[in-house]
């Protein structure tokens, strides 16, 4: 008996079986503004889930969703915007990989001179026109006529200044058809260039194509849903050199349904952070102001420990938030439903995404990294948000970690035509990093 008692004391009971007390993480009024609670009200969800467009979007099948939505309106604008964002993030990963593979301190004997062209375009994407100017215009003598012509076109564009990230109609810069609501333009299959080097060849994708595709979908989104909505939805996923808006926007339900932004204010806070709110005081003030209408601001406002966020507090409160949402959804619906738990799962990823941006605004790379890694663990099942996953891949690549970045990208590269073109740059970085490493023996 004594042994049994000691064993019970050490092992403990099954915690999962314990009844959970009601969780109040954030204010009820903030919870009421979320799309999760909105759709739980009788009569709201059914027409949404019956629509084949939303059914396809639930699995992030953009091509089918676009075909089913088709007409101008918020859902179509949202599809175009997310595609534009996906292309932007993919281009970002590609640009970072190019710079980290062939940038000045990494250039190796045997690298073909044409990598200057790739570096030039990469620097444009990274918002560094001066660096781009040092590399563009050098490949005019290349035997690869397409690359040579693109180099000249980009140099002219750079010299003309302005609008570098907008859609180009230049015949040598991967021209696309006129933007069309509900359309999906074809992409030129990569590799775009096979550059001779020694007795072998370097296969490369041109980041220009991704930029063009991003700009095309942005234009189509504006046609479908207007400039304000498109700009606001794009803001969290813009390229480094792009301007971001801060004017608050009120998003309709269809702009938030099944997204990681539960309310308009969640997105507005993230936009403010991305647009330049920085320093602990400014960030805390922003969250305090918004916590009554943004559940993520509510969660995170309680997790500051000078000079940054307390990571464990964020994890704990982010994990508790779905329980409060589920309770509110059950109450709104008048009953518990299976999909309430699924919908609530988006919120955990949303909190962590806002947390990442707060840590970055506070120049706290370690906390931002910890939050990202944790977010990756919750970005599963219904919450496996492609935008976050490609953003994470781009972050990994920027940290010269193509190993996980490549794996994440591999899982998303078929979401939209042309995304796979970034693979070649990621491969090049992977090869360089892997061959720079010491020895490794297969294990298991």
Partner 1 sequence: MRRRARHLFFAMAVAGSALLCAQTRPMSFYEETLPSTLNPLFARSMVDSRVHEMIFDRLYFHSPITNELTSRLVESWAVAEGGKAVRLTLKKGVKWHDGAPFGADDVCFTIDALLNPDTPSVLGEKQRAIFRGCKSESKNVALVQFTKIFHNPLERLAIYVLPVHSFNGNTAIQPDHEFAAHPQGTGPAKGARGRRGVTFNSAPNLHHKLSIPTMSLQEGSDPLVQVRTLQNDGVQGIIAVPPGYRADVAASDNLALKSYDLRSWWFVAVNQNKVYLKDKRSRQALDMLLNRTELREFTIGVKPNEQNSPCEFISGPFVQSSPYYNRSVPVRPVSDRDTAETLLLEAGFEQVGSRWHQNGEPVTLKIGIKASLDLEAPDLLSYIGNQLEAAGFGRQEYKIGIDDWNRLVLTGNAQDYDLLVGKWSFGLVEDVNPLFHTRDKQGGGARNIFGFSNPEVDALLQDFEKARLDTQAQDAYHKLHEKLAEELPYLFLWKLDTKSAWRSNVRGNTISPFYYWTELDSWKYKP
Between residues 286 and 379, which has the closer beta carbon with respect to partner 1?
379
Q: How far apart are CA 97 and CA 92, in angstroms?
A: 8
Q: How far apart are CA 274 and CA 329, in angstroms?
A: 30
Contact 111, 197 (CB under 8 A): yes
Please report how close the Cβ of residue 402 comes to partner 1 at its closest, in angstroms.
9
Contact 390, 412 (CB under 8 A): yes
Beta-bridged to residue 98, according to DSSP, are none
Ramachandran class of 72: left when φ > 0, alpha when ψ lies in -120 to 50, beta otherwise: beta
Binding mask 238-277 for partner 1 (x = CB under 8 A): ----------------------------------------
Residue written as tokens 């200057």? 116
How many Cα atoms are found within 13 Å in the side-chain-facing hemisphere of 379?
24
Residue written as tokens 């308009």? 264
Between residues 289 and 399, which has the closer beta carbon with respect to partner 1?
399
Binding mask 59-98 for partner 1 (x = CB under 8 A): x---------------------------------------
Q: How far apart are CA 301 and CA 295, in angstroms?
A: 10
Q: How far apart are CA 197 and CA 177, in angstroms?
A: 34
Between residues 155 and 192, which has the closer beta carbon with respect to partner 1?
192
Site for partner 1 in 5-64 (CB under 8 A): 5-6, 8-16, 20, 59
Q: How far apart are CA 33 and CA 37, in angstroms?
A: 7
Q: Is 336 in the site for partner 1 (CB under 8 A)?
A: no
- What angle (nearest 5°) sits at the alpha carbon of residue 353, between those of residues 290 and 248? 35
Site size for partner 1, by CB under 8 A?
68
Q: Is 395 exposed, middle or buried (0-12, 13-18, 19+ CB in 10 A)?
A: buried
- Binder among 63, 319, 331, 337 for partner 1 (CB under 8 A): 319
Please report how close the Cβ of residue 172 comes to partner 1 at its closest, in angstroms.
25
Q: Is 338 in the site for partner 1 (CB under 8 A)?
A: no
Binding mask 346-375 for partner 1 (x = CB under 8 A): -------------------xx--xx--x--
- Binder among 315, 343, 346, 388 for partner 1 (CB under 8 A): 315
Contact 213, 185 (CB under 8 A): yes
Token code pair at residue 239:
């390229």
Q: Is 119 in the site for partner 1 (CB under 8 A)?
A: no
Please report how close the Cβ of residue 376 comes to partner 1 at its closest, in angstroms.
6
Beta-bridged to residue 195, according to DSSP, are 202
Q: Is 143 in the site for partner 1 (CB under 8 A)?
A: no
Please report how close the Cβ of residue 186 comes to partner 1 at its closest, in angstroms.
21
Region from 70-78, 221-229, 254-262, 428-436 binding partner 1, contact rule CB under 8 A: 428-436
Q: What is the CA radius of gyration of the chain?
A: 24
Between residues 19 and 169, which has the closer beta carbon with respect to partner 1?
19
Task: Tell me the backbone φ, ψ of residue 196, rounded to 5 degrees.
Answer: -60, 140
Please report how close the Cβ of residue 182 comes to partner 1 at its closest, in angstroms.
24
Token code pair at residue 313:
């507090």
Q: Is 160 in the site for partner 1 (CB under 8 A)?
A: no
Contact 130, 143 (CB under 8 A): no
- What angle (nearest 5°) sits at the alpha carbon of residue 133, between those of residues 128 and 135? 105
Site for partner 1 in 372-411 (CB under 8 A): 373, 376-377, 380-381, 384, 396, 399-401, 403-404, 406-407, 409-411
Please report how close the Cβ of residue 71 comes to partner 1 at its closest, in angstroms.
27
Between residues 13 and 47, which has the closer beta carbon with respect to partner 1?
13
Please report how close the Cβ of residue 31 comes to partner 1 at its closest, in angstroms.
20
Please report how close the Cβ of residue 100 comes to partner 1 at its closest, in angstroms.
11
Ramachandran class of 400: left when φ > 0, alpha when ψ lies in -120 to 50, beta otherwise: left
Q: How far apart are CA 336 and CA 198, in angstroms?
A: 66
Region from 48-56, 184-192, 241-249, 433-441 binding partner 1, contact rule CB under 8 A: 433-441
* CA 28, chain centre distance (Å): 29
- Binder among 199, 247, 281, 306 for partner 1 (CB under 8 A): 199
Between residues 281 and 436, which has the closer beta carbon with respect to partner 1?
436
- Binder among 19, 71, 108, 281 for partner 1 (CB under 8 A): 108
Token code pair at residue 182:
């509900």
Residues near partner 1 (CB under 8 A): 1-2, 5-6, 8-16, 20, 59, 106, 108-110, 197-202, 311-312, 315, 319, 365-366, 369-370, 373, 376-377, 380-381, 384, 396, 399-401, 403-404, 406-407, 409-411, 426-428, 430-444
């Amino acid at each position: 008996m004594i042994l049994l008692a000691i064993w019970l004391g050490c092992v403990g009971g099954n915690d999962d079986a314990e009844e959970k007390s009601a969780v109040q993480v954030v204010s009820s009024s903030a919870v009421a503004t979320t799309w999760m609670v909105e759709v739980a009200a009788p009569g709201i969800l059914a027409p949404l889930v019956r629509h084949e467009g939303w059914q396809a979007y639930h699995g992030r099948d953009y091509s089918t969703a676009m075909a089913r939505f088709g007409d101008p309106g918020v859902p179509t604008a949202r599809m175009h915007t997310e595609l534009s964002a996906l292309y932007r993030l993919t281009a970002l990963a590609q640009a970072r990989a190019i710079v980290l593979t062939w940038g000045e301190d990494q250039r190796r004997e045997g690298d073909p001179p044409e990598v200057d062209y790739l570096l030039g375009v990469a620097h444009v994407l990274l918002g560094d026109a001066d660096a781009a100017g040092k590399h563009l215009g050098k490949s005019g003598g290349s035997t690869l006529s397409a690359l040579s012509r693109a180099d000249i076109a980009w140099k002219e564009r750079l010299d003309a200044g302005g609008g570098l990230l907008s859609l180009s109609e230049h015949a040598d810069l991967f021209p696309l058809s006129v933007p069309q609501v509900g359309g999906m333009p074809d992409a030129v299959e990569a590799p775009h260039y096979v550059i001779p080097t020694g007795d072998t060849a370097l296969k490369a994708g041109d980041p220009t194509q991704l930029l063009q595709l991003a700009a095309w979908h942005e234009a189509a989104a504006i046609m479908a849903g207007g400039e304000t909505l498109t700009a606001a939805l794009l803001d969290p996923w813009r390229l480094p050199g792009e301007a971001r808006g801060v004017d608050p926007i009120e998003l309709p339900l269809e702009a938030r349904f099944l997204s990681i932004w539960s309310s308009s204010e969640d997105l507005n806070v993230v936009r403010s952070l991305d647009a330049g709110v920085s320093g602990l005081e400014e960030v805390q003030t922003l969250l305090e102001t918004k916590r009554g209408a943004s559940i993520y601001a509510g969660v995170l406002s309680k997790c500051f420990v000078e000079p940054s966020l307390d990571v464990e507090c964020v994890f704990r409160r982010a994990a508790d938030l779905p329980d409060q949402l589920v309770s509110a959804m059950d109450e709104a619906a008048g009953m518990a439903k299976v999909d309430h738990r699924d919908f609530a799962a988006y919120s955990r990823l949303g909190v962590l995404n806002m947390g990442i941006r707060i840590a970055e605004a506070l120049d706290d790379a370690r906390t931002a990294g910890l939050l990202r890694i944790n977010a990756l663990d919750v970005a599963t099942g219904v919450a496996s948000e492609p935008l976050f996953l490609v953003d994470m891949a781009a972050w990994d690549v920027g940290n010269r970690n193509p190993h996980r970045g490549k794996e994440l990208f591999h899982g998303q590269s078929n979401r939209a035509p042309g995304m796979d073109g970034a693979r070649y740059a990621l491969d090049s970085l992977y090869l360089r990093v892997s061959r720079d490493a010491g020895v490794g023996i297969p294990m298991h």
